[in-house]
Structure 1
Amino acid sequence: MSSLTRLRRRILTPDVGQTKISTRGFHLKDEQARERLETVGSSFLHGYGAAAEASGPAEAAPSVEATPAAYRGFAYEGAAMAFAIRDALPGRPRHVARFLADHDEHVYMAYVGVGWAMARLPRLLWHRLYAPDPLLRWLVLDGYGFHEAYFKTDRYVRQRRRPSTFAWPADGPRDYSVRAIDQGIGRACWFVAGTDPEQLVRLLDAFPVDRRRDLYAGAGLAVCYAGGASERELNWLAECAGTYRPDLAQGASFGAAARLRAGLVLPHNELATRVLCGMSVSDATRVTDEARVGLPQDDVLPAYEVWRQRIRNAFDPSPATRKLSEQ
């Protein structure tokens, strides 16, 4: 490793101590949950560090790929964040474009990682962020919301603040941006709750009612993708979610699709989709794929939200939803 790459890694890479549960002040359910969540954080920073010091995506890939399957997606997320930050610096080497071209199977986590970079970059550099897919680009704001809730927990979770408007993407339905951010905040709440469903529900139900569907959906994604809950806990969560259970299922199906596409499906993913979606990971992914067919162009609602609503409706057994879906 050259002195330049060592210096670049030291300057760009956050302190791993910032991912400790005790540092963040998150709920501690038990030692197993603490180890899981802190390993998520250290894996993210491992990927970030590999990308910060590498000459490009090809050089970073072996180190990122060596991360255990349970945490490999988080390493790719961290790598995407680092490449996005490097792309925003003078020179614009287009690392993220090459990273996505080489690792399309991790596209969901990569877009979320770009959102982490957004949270660390001045707004005047946001136009340099690479997120070309008009459907998946909303995951960038999911990543932004997760970052803010994870590192500014008092403001975004306990005080329940959010931006009134958000100037990204420039050509998208502006009013939807804060909803995509809420999905990331909900995902972060699974970490703030220490993978404890009772703590999670307490956090989410303290938010205004009009925000909860997006928050529960984000939480469902984290519950499935990151794991940390037992079957008993998942059954309790599904029951206590009440009217938001289809939102939990929608998020869990997104987590399942991300895992399956990357070839990283593990038992905790199958458990989550079985309880929250009533089906396997592959079947939950099929729901997301079928809902994606024939999406309209962005309008008042982006196609991304129409996609999410179709998935939610597929998991909603209420007669009103069935009637609407048949029309």
Structure 2
Amino acid sequence: MPSAWRKLRRRILTPSTSETLLEKRGFHRKTPAAQQLLETVGERFLEGYGYAMEARDTGSAENLLEGVPIRFRGFAYEGAGMGFAMLDGLPLSGSGSVARFLAGRGADHVYMVYIGVGWAMARLPRFRWPDIDALDPLLRWLVLDGYGFHQAYFRTARYVHEQYRDPAFPWPAHDSPSYAGRAIDQGIGRALWFVGGTDADLVATMIEKFPESRRSDLYSGAGLAATYAGGVDEAELRAFWERAGSHRAMVAQGSAFAAEARERAGLPVVHTELATRVFCGMTPAQAARVTQEVRPAGPVPGALPAYEVWRQAIADRFTNVGGC
């Protein structure tokens, strides 16, 4: 594809960075520093998306992604995951981009790439959705996490304030369709960290307005975002931990997932170490090791998908942390 066409494709298909401004989204602005952090996350996400849109191949996008600062590189890979999924879903753009991306450096960022695929799913017509069955059967639920984040981020009134939940979401994989709403809630919980502007007290208040049956997954997602994205000090993290009450083990589970994502990709940051110490009582490397130790090696018995069995096993390892 000629370079001029790829540049035009990027310009046409990449959303404006103004879409990531907290004022534009109507999100809470806690402090100038927190606002700058969250808006930079959005900018870096779109940067990665743009790299995918303009890339000659996945390798050329990877070279650019590796130049993004460590703190934000995972978000750029997430954006690239969305970009390559969009290209796979658009007419005349070919297919297999996500698979090739995951066969390269994207493999180290698989969690973020899958979440990015979920963003694309939220923007593509259903008949153009990715082949979910072709993705890792354990991790593919992260696609719905990404879908939930997108909906809460861009359709905040409906998904956050009105607490909308599709009772029959058309999960295009052939396993546990009834679990789809829970996976989406985990993404909504992550988005609440952005909607609330990293104000931990406000995020907890928003979660507590949801039905009790949904709060565990929402707290898990928010714990993941607090650990991966940051934006709070130790006192705020401890206050959020206290507010989580009976859901603290799931906050720790989300935090451990974030630690695993950063450790696997080689993207250590100070705020992740602070968050895992508060939420998990250990270092990011130790928290990541917990996720690896209890990870299912294949299908599991029972009605729950292996992904949820994995999450519960992680949470169980943290039931005695800080009074869980």
Whether the TM-score (by the shorter chain) exceeds 0.5 is: yes
Instruction: Note the 1:1-327 alignment, pairs <5 A.
Output: 2-91=3-92, 92-103=94-105, 104-128=107-131, 132-294=135-297, 296-297=299-300, 299-317=302-320
CA contact under 8 A between 1:295 and 1:307: conserved in structure 2?
Answer: no
Distance 1:66 1:298, change over 3 A: farther
Q: What's the Cα RMSD here? A: 1.6
CA contact under 8 A between 1:47 and 1:78: conserved in structure 2?
Answer: yes
Q: 2: distance between equivalents of 1:297 and 1:56?
A: 37
Give the drift of 1:5: 1.3
1:325 maps to none
Secondary structure of 1:124 counterpart: helix
CA deviations over 1:153-190 (Å, ceiling 9, x no partner): 01001111111111113301010001000000000000
Q: 1: distance between equivalents of 2:318 and 2:160?
A: 27
Q: 2: distance between equivalents of 1:18 and 1:298?
A: 43
Q: 1: distance between equivalents of 2:5 and 2:53?
A: 11
Structure 1: 5+ residue stretches without partners: 322-327
Deviates more, 1:254-263 or 1:290-299: 290-299
Which TM-score applies when normalising by structure 1? 0.94
Q: 2: distance between equivalents of 1:288 and 1:114?
A: 22
**Structure 2: which amino acid aligns with 1:99?**
F
**Structure 2: which amino acid aligns with 1:75?**
A
Give the drift of 1:93: 2.8
Q: 2: distance between equivalents of 1:33 and 1:212?
A: 24
CA contact under 8 A between 1:173 and 1:299: conserved in structure 2?
Answer: no
Deviates more, 1:12-21 or 1:121-130: 121-130
CA contact under 8 A between 1:135 and 1:303: conserved in structure 2?
Answer: yes
Q: 2: distance between equivalents of 1:229 and 1:298?
A: 40
Distance 1:166 1:303, change over 3 A: same
Give the drift of 1:297: 3.1
Deviates more, 1:144-153 or 1:92-101: 92-101
Give the drift of 1:75: 0.2
Q: 2: distance between equivalents of 1:13 and 1:130?
A: 27
CA contact under 8 A between 2:75 and 2:112: conserved in structure 1?
Answer: yes
Q: 2: distance between equivalents of 1:299 and 1:121?
A: 33
Give the drift of 1:144: 0.2
Q: 1: distance between equivalents of 2:21 and 2:222?
A: 20
Give the drift of 1:290: 1.0
CA deviations over 1:279-306 (Å, ceiling 9, x no partner): 1101101111111145543752100000
CA deviations over 1:260-316 (Å, ceiling 9, x no partner): 000001110000000011111011011111111455437521000000000111111
CA contact under 8 A between 2:121 and 2:130: conserved in structure 1?
Answer: no
Deviates more, 1:193-202 or 1:118-127: 118-127
Q: 2: distance between equivalents of 1:6 and 1:266?
A: 33
Distance 1:176 1:105, change over 3 A: same
